[in-house]
Chain A
Amino acid sequence: MDLLIFQAPILMVQASMDGILLGILFALIAYGMALQWGVMNIINIAQGDLVILGGYIAYFMYLYGIHPAWGVIVSPIIMYFVGIGIYKLVINKVVDRDLFISILATFGISILFMQLMNFAFGADVVLANSGYGTTMLFDNSVTLPNSKIFAAIISIIFAIGLVLYMKKSKLGRAIRATAQNARAAKILGVDTEKVYAATFGINAALCGVAGALISITFTIHPYMGLPYTIRSFMIVIVAGLGNLPGVALSGMGLGVFEEFADYILGTEFRIGSVFLLLVLILVYRRFKLSKKREYLK
């Protein structure tokens, strides 16, 4: 790595910029993950598939001649109702149960979504072309597609909007109250069932935004969901629940890591390195925690 920084400084800059822009998108997905994990105490394996579904909505708009950037507005609206539907059908039965039940149930949803998307949209890798062109930096040596910059800006806008919404609005306060103590919130007149449904809907809407942006900047494919789930899970455990700057930072860190893994190890090991990183992070976390336990002894 030290060698690389001197041998190929341009590559370093390129990979870092790509990684940061990518990481902002990851952070948006991870924010949704943290939200539902914190409020409802479920881990949603289908998170990535919601993202891909959101991407297909934007792609379809592109196919019918509408500029895919409008997907950023249309996709979350559709995905919100998809999220509510999933909540009413499945999630409300696993909220109070063991976490493993929610993992397995959402795993089932994930398989279901994958296959339905495969039927509906075909197994091809697709991309909604935004036609935004590219920006050249440093004497044309670093290229940044404008669509990536657009995606990052939109993600930041949505994230800030959501944070403000959570702070100021009535529903946002109800969601935060439920996250702190669901029983107490119920006693004080919060309809927790509604709050849960709304939380899952908002999460799905966030996935929709992220998916639409991914369909513009990268590619989508029905079976690409699980890596997004794992990435968002990883970001959340590194940052901790409810730590928003942490989510943003670790999202960007993951993006940079991935770009470097892509350049150094090769594209075929990209997804593998993400999953290995997850294992390493969890193992590191386990040794750190066990050290803490030894102090207590």
Chain B
Amino acid sequence: MNKNLIIYLLILIFGVAAPFIFPAFKVQLSILCVLIILAITWNIQGGEMGYNTFGNILFYGLGMYLCASVQVGMFFPLAEWTESGGEKTFVHTPAQFFQGFAAGLAVAAIVPTIVAGLIGYSILGLRGHYFAICTLGLGVAAGEISGGIEIIGAGQGFTTPPFPNIGSLEARGEFFYFCSFVTLVITFIAVKSIYTTRFKLVLNAIRDNEDKAEAMGIQTMKYKIIGWMISAFFCGLAGGIMGGLVGYIDSTDVAFDGREMGVFMVLMAILGGKGTLWGPVIGATIFHIFKEGFWTFFLGWQYVALGVLIVVIVIYFPEGIMGWLREKYPERFGEVVDEADRKAQVELK
């Protein structure tokens, strides 16, 4: 237990110090934090509950649009803002910017949670691949429809308020890094503490056999919806931060980007290992490093690489890194191993 605490402390210290050690990579580190949040929240559905969703991108995009809209709408008329596009006629003062961002984040977290609760009852009743395709459709539909709404920029996109000039040039990167890092820490602690309760066992029961779980007297629908709402909460937050970080929101390329983020979160969780706490974190980190390397050195071929990567991971590596480690060193995962039994099994093979 003590050893674990030290490891957590080391990671925390590294996280706080990271933007000062690698000042050139602040934006990348913030994106990494957002990616980890998305992977962890996807894992609640895909890994623990057995509901493979492509639809968490809906909450991410919703959070992104809501955060930016509230941040602008609190002080200026939203329609005129989006109409003016890149040319800024309105300028936030620093106080307005931070107040707006805080209020925006609150809305970005709460509204997607409510949306998840509302649509959860009808959508989480679908099983297996119907659920997967339905959520895929939901994400794409949201992107297409938001691309037709005039007040949030329609097809031409929505420019989020520029960061106010408060002295240091480094302030913007540091601000968004610490926003995303703190959110990540909160997400991790929340999910970790959830995973120690009965709630996780219920989710696993749903994954293993939903009908049986229902027959045992578990109100599966209630737990499924709560699980989805938790995901939506953190996805919305991540989206809000990402919107401010990117500085420009486009309906299909940034917010409801099913082709990138929507697949990334699935891929990261699977790469790290579904159904584990650390899997998505490791998967997201490795994926992000790989992705950035590829995006930088093989620009243009990145989607080809992404397609190949998806196929290879899904076919040859479906258990992920944690699954592979677990098979290799079961003792480390607290599984009791009977050496004689294991040897007998090996001989049988």
Q: Is B324 an interface residue (CB 8 A)?
A: no
Do B304 and A108 have beta carbons less than 8 Å apart?
no
Do B314 and A282 have beta carbons less than 8 Å apart?
no
Which residue of A has the minimal Cβ distance to B135? A279
Residues of B near A283 (CB, < 8 A) are: 122-123, 126, 134
Do A287 and B122 have beta carbons less than 8 Å apart?
yes
Do A99 and B128 have beta carbons less than 8 Å apart?
yes
Residues of A near B141 (CB, < 8 A) are: 272, 275-276, 278-279
Q: Is A233 an interface residue (CB 8 A)?
A: yes
Residues of B near A276 (CB, < 8 A) are: 137, 141, 145
Quote the shortest CB–CB distance from B269 to chain A (angstroms). Answer: 11
Instruction: Using known A-B contacts A101-B318, A108-B310, A268-B148, determine if residue A282 contacts B134 with beta carbons closer than 8 Å.
Output: yes
Partner of B307, one of A103, A109, A290: A109
A side interface size, CB within 8 A: 40
Do B130 and A282 have beta carbons less than 8 Å apart?
yes
Residues of B near A286 (CB, < 8 A) are: 122-123, 125-126, 130
The residues in B between 117 and 147 inclusive whose CB is less than 8 angstroms from any CB of A are 122-123, 125-126, 128-130, 132-134, 136-138, 140-141, 143-145, 147
Residues of A near B301 (CB, < 8 A) are: 115
Quote the shortest CB–CB distance from B254 to chain A (angstroms). Answer: 16
Do A100 and B303 have beta carbons less than 8 Å apart?
no
Mostly helix, strand, loop or mixed at chain A's interface? helix
Which residue of A has the minimal Cβ distance to B211? A293
The residues in A between 251 and 291 inclusive whose CB is less than 8 angstroms from any CB of B are 266, 268-269, 271-272, 275-276, 278-279, 282-283, 285-287, 290
Residues of B near A100 (CB, < 8 A) are: 52, 128-129, 132
Q: Is A214 an interface residue (CB 8 A)?
A: no
Please report the C-alpha to C-alpha distance between residue A146 and residue B36 in the assembled complex, in whole angstroms: 53
Do B126 and A108 have beta carbons less than 8 Å apart?
no
Which residue of B has the minimal Cβ distance to A276? B141
Q: Is A116 an interface residue (CB 8 A)?
A: yes
Residues of A near B315 (CB, < 8 A) are: 90, 93-94, 101, 105
Quote the shortest CB–CB distance from B227 to chain A (angstroms). Answer: 18
Do B148 and A279 have beta carbons less than 8 Å apart?
no
The residues in B between 233 and 286 inclusive whose CB is less than 8 angstroms from any CB of A are 259, 263, 266, 270
Residues of B near A114 (CB, < 8 A) are: 303, 307
Q: Is B79 an interface residue (CB 8 A)?
A: no
Which residue of B has the minimal Cβ distance to A41? B129
Residues of B near A107 (CB, < 8 A) are: 263, 310
Quote the shortest CB–CB distance from A282 to chain B (angstroms). Answer: 4
Q: Is B18 an interface residue (CB 8 A)?
A: no
Q: Is A111 an interface residue (CB 8 A)?
A: yes
Residues of A near B12 (CB, < 8 A) are: none
Instruction: Using known A-B contacts A99-B129, A100-B132, A282-B133, determine if residue A272 contacts B304 with beta carbons closer than 8 Å.
Output: no
Q: Is A163 an interface residue (CB 8 A)?
A: no
Do B308 and A108 have beta carbons less than 8 Å apart?
yes
Q: Is A230 an interface residue (CB 8 A)?
A: yes
Do A112 and B308 have beta carbons less than 8 Å apart?
yes
Do A103 and B125 have beta carbons less than 8 Å apart?
no
Do A275 and B140 have beta carbons less than 8 Å apart?
yes
Do A112 and B148 have beta carbons less than 8 Å apart?
no
Do A230 and B137 have beta carbons less than 8 Å apart?
yes
Q: Is B85 an interface residue (CB 8 A)?
A: no
Q: Is B9 an interface residue (CB 8 A)?
A: no
Q: Is B311 an interface residue (CB 8 A)?
A: yes
Partner of B144, one of A111, A275, A290: A275
Do B145 and A115 have beta carbons less than 8 Å apart?
no
Q: Is B179 an interface residue (CB 8 A)?
A: no
Q: Is B155 an interface residue (CB 8 A)?
A: yes
Quote the shortest CB–CB distance from B91 to chain A (angstroms). Answer: 31
Q: Is A104 an interface residue (CB 8 A)?
A: yes
Quote the shortest CB–CB distance from B151 to chain A (angstroms). Answer: 14
Do A43 and B129 have beta carbons less than 8 Å apart?
yes
Please report the C-alpha to C-alpha distance between residue A268 and residue B148 in the assembled complex, in whole angstroms: 6
Q: Is B289 an interface residue (CB 8 A)?
A: no
Please report the C-alpha to C-alpha distance between residue A101 and residue B310 in the assembled complex, in whole angstroms: 10
Quote the shortest CB–CB distance from B73 to chain A (angstroms). Answer: 23
Do A278 and B310 have beta carbons less than 8 Å apart?
no
Instruction: Using known A-B contacts A90-B311, A111-B263, determine if residue A103 contacts B132 with beta carbons closer than 8 Å.
Output: yes
Do A275 and B137 have beta carbons less than 8 Å apart?
yes
Please report the C-alpha to C-alpha distance between residue A17 and residue B338 in the assembled complex, in whole angstroms: 71
What are 21 sample pairs from A and B whose C-beta atoms fall under 8 A apart? Answer: A43-B133, A100-B132, A104-B310, A107-B263, A108-B314, A111-B259, A112-B306, A112-B311, A115-B301, A119-B300, A226-B140, A230-B140, A233-B133, A268-B148, A269-B144, A275-B138, A276-B141, A282-B130, A282-B133, A283-B123, A286-B125
* A-B pairs with lowest CB-CB distance, top 10: A112-B307, A108-B310, A272-B144, A275-B141, A115-B303, A111-B307, A108-B311, A278-B137, A268-B148, A99-B129
B: which residues have CB within 8 A of A?
52, 122-123, 125-126, 128-130, 132-134, 136-138, 140-141, 143-145, 147-148, 154-155, 259, 263, 266, 270, 300-301, 303-304, 306-311, 314-315, 318
